[in-house]
Amino acid sequence: MMMKSNQQKSGLTLGYDLERWTRYGEQEKILVNLAPDSNSHILLSGMSGSGKSYLENAILAKLFLAEPSGEIYFADYKGDSAFSYLRGCPRYYTYRDTLQALELVYGRMLARQSGEDSSTHAITLVWDEYMAQILALQSEDKKAAAVVMNRVSEILLLGRSLSVRLVTAIQRPDAAAFPAGSRMNYGVVVILGSSAKSIYEMLLPDFKEEVAGRTFRRGEGVVVFQGAELRYLKVPIIGNPKRMQEICIEALSASCPPSEA
Ligand SMILES: Nc1ncnc2c1ncn2[C@@H]1O[C@H](COP(=O)(O)OP(=O)(O)OP(=O)(O)O)[C@@H](O)[C@H]1O
Ligand SMILES: [Mg+2]
């Protein structure tokens, strides 16, 4: 069970409590618990321009700082300009190559599961525009799309006990590419900006009444931890974007701990 965020001292800072920020200008951190016994798969949703890519950059940098011996892969389906500075990094993949990143991470998980690899450091795949990629793949090759979705589901189900984590960003969940129940496997669900009630219904069914009807600006929204704890979130402006980019480049380039036999 996730500790109450106000008791939690360390982890990944997503941003600040929106209400305290707006009312009192206070910076009360909202943290994702990264401990292996906590489900830290993250689903980020929001309409275009709501700030998903901005937050993903921050997450990438903060994950690396929180888990310097971890291993991070970045899949950027769209080839977004927000990530163009990452091109050339060994663990940055774009367009179709994102599927290579999935294969790699999935293979690492299976090797850990079979006991062939006894390493335990965190392996994270951050995947921007996951839903758009699945929908495009479904229209071209349904079987290939099903294989990808199954691998993602397996990582969501088994990854926690094997220290393999997914951070996926999507504009809106599409029932065709988001099997019922998948969202239950994300320990952290973030919806940025104002969204339609149908999106809250799909992603945060227990909180739909509370959240629907509220308006959020870009970089603001809601986060639910383990399907149970709701917080309103403010993603602050990145103070030193150049430094952040240096950290992200390092995150996708630094040599990783070896697999262990
Ligand atoms: N928290 C924030 N504070 C300040 N500016 C932000 C914040 N979040 C996003 N922005 C700015 O808003 C614009 C849109 O953000 P971003 O590209 O992250 O949106 P997105 O949700 O990824 O959109 P898309 O789905 O089209 O990729 C960018 O110019 C970004 O720099
Ligand atoms: Mg984006």
**Does residue 171 contact residue 131 with C-beta atoms inside 8 Å?**
yes
Q: Which of 74, 101, 170, 80 is nearest to 129 (CA)?
A: 170
Q: Which of 171, 192, 190, 189 is nearest to 51 (CA)?
A: 192
Q: Is the dihedral of CA 54, 179, 183, 200 positive or negative?
A: positive
pLDDT at 7: 44
Q: Is residue 18 part of a domain?
A: yes
Q: Ligand 1 pocket, 171 CB below 6 A?
A: yes
Q: Is residue 3 part of a domain?
A: no
Cα three-residue angle 12-125-59, rounded to 5 degrees: 30
- Ligand 1 site-directed mutation target among 53, 133, 172, 237, most atoms within 8 Å of CB: 53
For residue 10, how far is its CA from the centre of ligand 2 (angstroms)?
27
The CATH number that applies at residue 103 is: 3.40.50.300
Q: Ligand 1 pocket, 195 CB below 6 A?
A: no
Cα three-residue angle 62-66-69, rounded to 5 degrees: 115
50 Cα nearest atom in ligand 1: 21
- Ligand 1 site-directed mutation target among 13, 54, 76, 192, most atoms within 8 Å of CB: 54
237 Cα nearest atom in ligand 1: 3
Q: Is residue 65 part of a domain?
A: yes
**Does residue 44 contact residue 169 with C-beta atoms inside 8 Å?**
yes
pLDDT at 8: 55
Q: Is residue 8 part of a domain?
A: no
Q: Whose CA is nearest to atom 31 of ligand 1?
A: 54
193 Cα nearest atom in ligand 1: 21
For residue 241, how far is its CA from the centre of ligand 1 (angstroms)?
13
pTM for this one?
Answer: 0.95
pLDDT at 10: 67
Q: Identify residue 162 by its one-letter amino acid code.
A: L
Structural domain of 200:
13-251
Q: Is residue 5 part of a domain?
A: no
- Ligand 1 site-directed mutation target among 218, 220, 238, most atoms within 8 Å of CB: 218
For residue 50, how far is its CA from the centre of ligand 1 (angstroms)?
6
Report which DSSP code applies to 193: S
Q: Is residue 1 part of a domain?
A: no
Which of the residues in the chain have pLDDT under 70? 1-10
Q: Is residue 191 part of a domain?
A: yes
Q: Is residue 124 part of a domain?
A: yes
For residue 17, how far is its CA from the centre of ligand 2 (angstroms)?
22
Number of domains composing the chain: 1
Q: What is the dihedral of CA 127, 80, 173, 222, to 10 degrees?
A: 90
pLDDT at 180: 72
Q: Ligand 1 pocket, 49 CB below 6 A?
A: yes
